[in-house]
Amino acid sequence: MSLPTLGKYLIGVGLLIAGMGILLLVAGKIPWLGRLPGDFLIKRDHVSFYFPLTTCLILSILLSMLFRFFSHK
């Protein structure tokens, strides 16, 4: 692998990490994220279990569309 190619990959990974950091910063300000119908919350005496199924599916679809849009073929 040549150095310019490696440099492009490192820049891409850096931008991806920065984007994920920004998403984590603003995720708490999106009121509906994580509270959609289909997100499971089970509370018992001393245990609670939360699985955001619908949120994961929507994020997966959005990320798949984004990666498909930016893929180079």
Backbone angles phi, psi at 54, to 5 degrees: -65, -40
13: buried, middle or exposed (CB in 10 Å: 19+, 13-18, 0-12)? Answer: exposed
Q: Which ranges of the chain have pLDDT less than 70? A: 72-73
CB atoms near residue 60 (< 10 Å): 10
* Structure confidence at residue 73 (pLDDT): 59
